[in-house]
Structure 1
Amino acid sequence: MLWKPAHPENTNMERFRTFVEKKHHVSLGNYEGLWKWSVTEHEQFWADVWEFCGIKSSVGYEQILEKGVPMNKIPKWFMGARLNFAENMLVRSDDHVALIGAGEGEALTRITYAQLHEHVRACAAAMRKLGVTAGDRIAGYLPNCPETVIIFLAAVSIGAIWSSTSPDFGTTGVLERFTQIKPKILFSVNAVMYNGKAHDHLEKLTEVVNGLEGLEKVVIVPFVDRPFDAASIRHGETFAEFLKNDDGRKLEFEQLPFDHPLAILFSSGTTGKPKCIVHSAGGVLIQHLKEHVIHGDLSEKDVYFYYTTTGWMMWNWLISGLAAGATIVLYDGSPFKPTPARLWNLVDELNITVFGTSAKYIQSLQESRLTPIITHKLTHLRTIYSTGSPLKPESFDYVYTHIKKDLLLGSITGGTDIVSLFAGHNAALPVYRGEIQCRCLGMAIESWDDSGKNITNDAGDLVCTKPFPVMPVYFWNDPNNEKYHSAYFARFPGVWYHGDFVYVNAKTGGVTMLGRSDGTLNPAGVRFGSAELYNILDEFPQLADTLVVGQKRGEDERVILFCKMKEGEVFDDKIVERIKTAIRTRLSARHVPAVIMPIADIPHTVNGKKVEVAVKRIISGETVIPSGTLVNPDSLKLYYNLPELQDPGVHL
């Protein structure tokens, strides 16, 4: 155990447990009892979350869950209810700070809830004047800044459907997404700042606009203070010109069904066009309130930061902090400029209480030997969130030794598919080294073996056996739900298969992520996750990056390890033997890769995730078309026809 809460009885989790016990005359005892009740009595549980978190609706629900509809047929939730997502984000309209915009420079932008309400009103009025109605798609090719939040809330106040990508996306990646959903208005910027330099964005924007059909307006926010010609873009105008359409009308929140689409997010699409995942306003709202308010104790007292881009689902998770009345911090730029301590300087300057980031960022801090526990005060910091990839045990040690001893380190996991969490943080529970604290309330997740048997204390596929409100309502351009069914319900019919390989600890209730199931290694029938190897490989200072994948060989497969060496380091037999010895000693002989070889580059998505499946397919004999989500798509060419992996005796 690395940390435990001093007063768990004062957490919202314990308040919620008491609320449930009194309301239903049950004795649940502890979190495990509450979790079991939440997935057994799942309809009543979600109704209790609605009540406890105070969801605002103009019409209450008549029925919690559609009767007689199996999980794989996507049952409706909270039938009869009418609400608006933006209204629940803007419940308050006072002088409490809602947004703080920050970047690599020292300048900060502060917007109160009252000001945010007025900005959203003006933007929504302009949209309505231009004919935007419920169901229209509004797209953002935008950085993580206050204007993006304003535009998002304005769009969803009308019932328009939001979708966004960040300026670091290449034009191919953007067009692969937006050509499928055909937005009515596209919002973007003139330029962005990164690594201390201004980068013009209009050339990329021009290419995207020219590739989109049905666009009626392109609105350009002057994000960087430099002259530009909005008229040079087809249908282009400045944000100021757009706001001249504001006719002064009041902000009206369209009252819509619980399952009305809120946003379209996209699968990573690393080997083809990304799937367009449509999430409901009600589902996202109730799920995020549960995670922020009940699991995380988020309130108006908090200053909540997450290092994210608008192209990652964590942006949506960050914005929902407004529903708790918190102040949210929007950061755009490099986290290491002008100094590697930039974000920790912000923690002190803004009194940040909740700090979210990626496992990769924490590892980078570790490699840079930063010690915020010495160099910074971090007085108000109480929670650190980590996601994007499994947080290795050594990173847990680093946080508690070199950042702060008394805080909750919440390793969390979920995904774009549910724009939320399956397992994550809990302010009322201790933190154990290398483990996600718990399975989240209402999420009936289990670890299954190949036969569909629930197993604990052993690795298996992450499944969810009961429906939950934030299941996607559908995929765009998938009228018969064939892609939807194939994505989640083909592996175990009738049960949500998430594609993660996990281990559930029966003693602590914690969860360990072992990698993606589609990238699960399976030599000679022994299944294990790539994360087990990465945890060891990350300790080798000679390695700049690594990739572990399986190569099909007839009915079997063998494990291949690709090593990208740091500059000045040499790949030779000595490093190979050291790697083999470490893996054999720390894990087992079965975990040792069959082939360990050098490679010039490792493919990553723009969100920093290693691209295992595409490489697995390539080295197993397939041809893969790289997606625009890859930050280095040419790297895939390195993996074709590698002589070290050719075996004339085996047909691939």
Structure 2
Amino acid sequence: MSHVLWTPPAGRKTNMDDFREIISSKYNLKLDSYFDLYQWSIDNYVMFWKEFWSYSNIIYSKPYIEVIDETKRMDEIPEWFAGARLNYAQNLLRYNDDRIALYACSEGNPGIIQITHRQLTNVVNKYRIALKNAGVGMGDRVVGFLPNSPEAIIACLAAASLGAIWSTASADFGVMGVVERFSQIEPKVLFAVNAVVYNNKIHDSLDKLRQIVQAIPSLKVVVVIPFVPSHSMNLSSISNSITIDQFLSNVGTSGDLIDNDQLIEYEQVPFNHSLYILYSSGTTGAPKCMVHGHGGTLLNHLKEHILHSNMQVDDVLFFYTHTGWMMWNWLITAIALGTPIVLYDGSPIVPNIYRLWDLLDETGITIFGCSAKYLTTLEERHATPGTTNSLKTLHTILSTGSPLHPRIFDYVYTDIKSNILLGSITGGTDIVSVFCGVNPTLSVHRGEIQSQHLGMACESWSDEGKSVMGESGELVCVKPFPCMPICFWNDKNGEKYRKAYFDKYPGVWAHGDYCSINPVTRGIVMLGRSDGTLNPAGIRFGSAEIYSVVEQFEEIIDSLCVGQRNPNSDDERVLLFVKVS
């Protein structure tokens, strides 16, 4: 059995326990453990999502007629919660009070800004009115070429309140990366900044912005924010550009706008109305544009926040992310719970490697999210936040982006904090959510993701379509779930969509990841992308298994593992390239 690094505190009752007891009582069931509840949630997935809809207290103007049409196959993309009307932004802006909604700072401006729920609602309304004045309406695309700043959240929620569609590219993207994404969706309005600061250097955004705007003729308004006040705001070469002050100038003062949340007119949209457009990596051509809906995004994020992260109003949530990563979308949904979130833009190791841990102590972060690569960097540089920082508020660390090596599990519990929940999670842009991940009711086993998430019927399958445990297989989901993309942009017949997920196993979602499920702990180990699976002499394994060994050698600073197929046979050999220090 895998080594246990953490167990849930005795006697603690979590939101997951509360939900499990409600289901047990209502349906006269004996659900004694998480795995009992999980099995019920996938055997009765329609009932599960119905019950969580009620438990999550979603705000809606019209109730749903049915949860899902069960006669449709998964690859037919069945509609969820038909008849319901709601708005994602309205759910996030439900608290019109003076509690802190978000903290924000950046490398260029390390002073912490605090924004209350009332202030957030006021400024979202200003942006909303300005967007409406600019001709933005239902289904229009509004995009952000933005850092991880309050303005990104404000513009996003303003667009969502109108039923417009929001899409982002991080401010560190190159011109081609932005154009390849945004040109496909023909946005009407673009928000950008004049510059960003990273690694002690100011990086100009205006020249990139000029080239981007030239390549996207659909843009009617380009709004530029002076994110770095000392840097130029000369917009003369950028077509249709105005400053943020000019954009908001005809709206009026925030005090004139709103006395209570009833004055924001949230467009009431169907559950599957388009909210976000996210993008694939583009490694096999132009990035695919994945469209996610108001309801599916909201409902599954709330499940992950409330049940799987055990989030409370007195928690403070942080994730080190940029706006082009789906963890940004995941992060901001926590505002709907009244849980403050923390935004940071800049290098995580400037002025020193403890920058984010200092931020944790300053803002009282309780749930700290980051990439596996960041934790690996800390370990390689022998950082010891557990001795240099207080970390007294911290109770959970979340890690994603790539598999978390067992060695890094040891590092976290030895050099960061011993009595915390380390939740390795896996999901992706494709679902703007998580398939398997953190669980406050289960032990943490070294090197393993704790469990599949409720309502996600995930299994590991062989090439023959058989469920396997204790060996490598393809991560699949065998039943529909609400946060499936509602479509791909410009994919009228759904051919790209079906090819992306349903080609390998008809009617079953194949996620493109290689994994192994421990038959004893039921924990999951991610083994890398299945489209990069290596198969010498019929022995299948992921490149991550090679990297996990290579990364133990300090003398190796970079490596690349590839398969080379023999053109005269079906066999292949595996080549490992290394760069030594």
* Interval of TM-score (by shorter of Structure 1 and Structure 2): over 0.9
- 1:11 paired to 2:14: yes
Deviations 1:230-280 (A, max 9, x none): 343100000111011326663211110000001000001123100000001
Distance in 2 between the 1:91 and 1:20 partners?
A: 27
**Alpha-carbon shift at residue 28 of structure 1 (Å):** 1.5
- 1:561 paired to 2:576: yes
Report if the CA contact (8 A) 1:219-1:237 is conserved: yes
Give 1:214's aligned residue: 218
Alignment of 1:167-316 (within 5 A): 167-226=171-230, 227-246=232-251, 250-316=263-329
Corresponding residue to 2:126 among 122, 126, 138:
122
Give 1:417's aligned residue: 430
- The residue type equivalent to 1:76 in the other structure is E
Deviations 1:402-431 (A, max 9, x none): 000011000000010001001000111110
Give 1:389's aligned residue: 402
**Alpha-carbon shift at residue 9 of structure 1 (Å):** 4.3
- The residue type equivalent to 2:59 in the other structure is K
Give 2:74's aligned residue: 71
For 2:393, what is the secondary structure of its paired residue? coil
Distance in 1 between the 2:250 and 2:500 partners?
A: 42
- The residue type equivalent to 2:226 in the other structure is P
Give 1:33's aligned residue: 36
Give 1:20's aligned residue: 23
Give 1:521's aligned residue: 534
- 1:480 paired to 2:493: yes
Structure 1 range deviating more: 247-256 or 221-230: 247-256
- The residue type equivalent to 1:499 in the other structure is G
Give 1:98's aligned residue: 101
Report if the CA contact (8 A) 1:125-1:245 is conserved: no
Report if the CA contact (8 A) 1:122-1:246 is conserved: yes
Deviations 1:54-90 (A, max 9, x none): 1110111110002411100000000110000001111
Unaligned 5+ runs, structure 1: 567-652
Distance in 2 between the 1:44 and 1:9 partners?
A: 27
Normalising by structure 1, what TM-score?
0.86
For 2:224, what is the secondary structure of its paired residue? strand
Give 1:465's aligned residue: 478
Give 1:344's aligned residue: 357
Runs of 4+ that moved beyond 6 A: none
Report if the CA contact (8 A) 1:139-1:185 is conserved: yes
Report if the CA contact (8 A) 2:134-2:221 is conserved: no
- The residue type equivalent to 1:181 in the other structure is I
Distance in 2 between the 1:446 and 1:487 partners?
A: 18
Distance in 2 between the 1:55 and 1:394 partners?
A: 40
**Alpha-carbon shift at residue 438 of structure 1 (Å):** 0.4
Report if the CA contact (8 A) 1:448-1:461 is conserved: yes
Normalising by structure 2, what TM-score?
0.96
Deviations 1:169-191 (A, max 9, x none): 10001000011001000000000
- The residue type equivalent to 1:471 in the other structure is M
- The residue type equivalent to 2:182 in the other structure is F
> CA 1:8–1:395 in 2, change beyond 3 Å: closer, same or farther?
farther
Report if the CA contact (8 A) 1:159-1:254 is conserved: yes
Deviations 1:154-208 (A, max 9, x none): 0001110000001111000100001100100000000001111211110000000
Alignment of 1:363-382 (within 5 A): 363-382=376-395
Unaligned 5+ runs, structure 2: 258-262
- 1:320 paired to 2:352: no
Give 1:642's aligned residue: none
Give 2:150's aligned residue: 146
Distance in 1 between the 2:213 and 2:133 partners?
A: 22
For 1:26, what is the secondary structure of its paired residue? coil
Structure 1 range deviating more: 553-562 or 271-280: 553-562
CA RMSD of aligned residues (A): 1.0
Distance in 1 between the 2:528 and 2:391 partners?
A: 32
Distance in 1 between the 2:314 and 2:295 partners?
A: 25
Deviations 1:194-229 (A, max 9, x none): 111211110000000000021100000110012412
- 1:108 paired to 2:112: yes
Report if the CA contact (8 A) 1:130-1:245 is conserved: no
- 1:48 paired to 2:61: no
Distance in 1 between the 2:431 and 2:284 partners?
A: 21
Distance in 1 between the 2:94 and 2:386 partners?
A: 37
Distance in 1 between the 2:466 and 2:284 partners?
A: 31
- 1:455 paired to 2:459: no
Deviations 1:318-349 (A, max 9, x none): 11111121110111000000111100111111
Alignment of 1:486-565 (within 5 A): 486-554=499-567, 555-565=570-580
For 2:62, what is the secondary structure of its paired residue? coil
Number of corresponding residues? 566
- 1:166 paired to 2:170: yes
For 1:331, what is the secondary structure of its paired residue? strand
Distance in 2 between the 1:100 and 1:272 partners?
A: 38
Distance in 1 between the 2:250 and 2:473 partners?
A: 55
Distance in 1 between the 2:43 and 2:314 partners?
A: 33
Report if the CA contact (8 A) 2:64-2:82 is conserved: yes
Give 2:260's aligned residue: none
Report if the CA contact (8 A) 1:98-1:327 is conserved: yes
- The residue type equivalent to 1:61 in the other structure is Y
- The residue type equivalent to 2:233 in the other structure is F
For 2:136, what is the secondary structure of its paired residue? coil
% identical aligned pairs: 52
Structure 1 range deviating more: 9-18 or 364-373: 9-18
- The residue type equivalent to 1:88 in the other structure is N
